[in-house]
Amino acid sequence: MDQARTIKTVITPQPVIEGAGVHLKRSIATRTLSELDPFLLFDHFGSENPDDYLAGFPMHPHRGIETVTYMLAGTVRHRDTLGNAGTIGPGDIQWMTSGRGILHEEMPQPSARLDGFQLWVNLPARLKMTAPRYQDISAAKIPVWTGENGVTIRVIAGEVGGIRGAVTDIAADPTYLDITLPANVAFRRSVPQGHAAFAYLFEGAGTFGIAESDGVSASAPRLLVLDDGDFLAVRAGESGVRFLLVSGQPLNEPIARYGPFVMNTREEIEQTLRELREGTFIR
């Protein structure tokens, strides 16, 4: 018999300032939740005040991780040492595999509102020093699955109803779904057993982790860490609910972390810092 995933932890996002002065709400990489293997960081950026975000993220390095930026509103200009440059806008995805090393910048542009998310996904030891890779996927290329009672799912990674997500060939075998439920609609979604999983509620309210008990009621913004099981059951509230459902295969490897660098040992971090000082970080 399939086992429902209940809610292990409810996280209230914490306000932080990153980059050159960008105001964010952080749910993973905090004192409450340092990581959820293989996920290392989850930020929600959203403001109608340009002073909260225009300073952006000037050129900075990464090694050993993948960064995933998903835009809801506004635009961000980016460029990197692979020669990529462009703008990501509403509904677009940027999935960057830093591998052995990349420098990039992300600079939000003035708009009525900037809104979106950034997720960091760990790389297994065997891929930490692989060649960097960049996937820039427009909103038009992200498939949408439509179910009963007005349920819609933007399939960023993973598979829903035979529809494959736009992002593929990622080491952690992730699922990344943007799910919208109309008012009072009940919904059930399979999640691979053994995968770490969370739901990030960013619009409306609902009851999550419904099993023998009544589940956990939550309103935006909240991050809900799911216990293990086979599926998540959700019931939307009176105003409907919209949330991200993200899952991935844990790596179960040692983590050595220093800012934008995530390796397996302290020695590898020290080597990375030496390469930055000596100008050999980018190959």
The alpha carbons of the chain give a radius of gyration, in whole angstroms, of 19
Peptide bond into 13 cis (omega under 30): no
Instruction: Count H helices and E strands in the chain, helices first.
Output: 1, 24
Is 44 annotated among the ligand-binding residues? no
Polymer length of the chain: 283
- Provide the 8-state DSSP code for 278: H
Is 104 annotated among the ligand-binding residues? yes
Is 78 annotated among the ligand-binding residues? no
b vs e for 14-47, b when ≥16 Cβ sit within 10 Å of the residue's Cβ? eeeeebeebbbbbbbbbeebebbebbbbbbbbbb
Cβ–Cβ < 8 Å for 189, 241: no
User: Which residues participate in the annotated binding site?
Assistant: 60, 62, 104, 106
User: Which residues participate in the annotated binding site for Fe cation?
Assistant: 60, 62, 104, 106
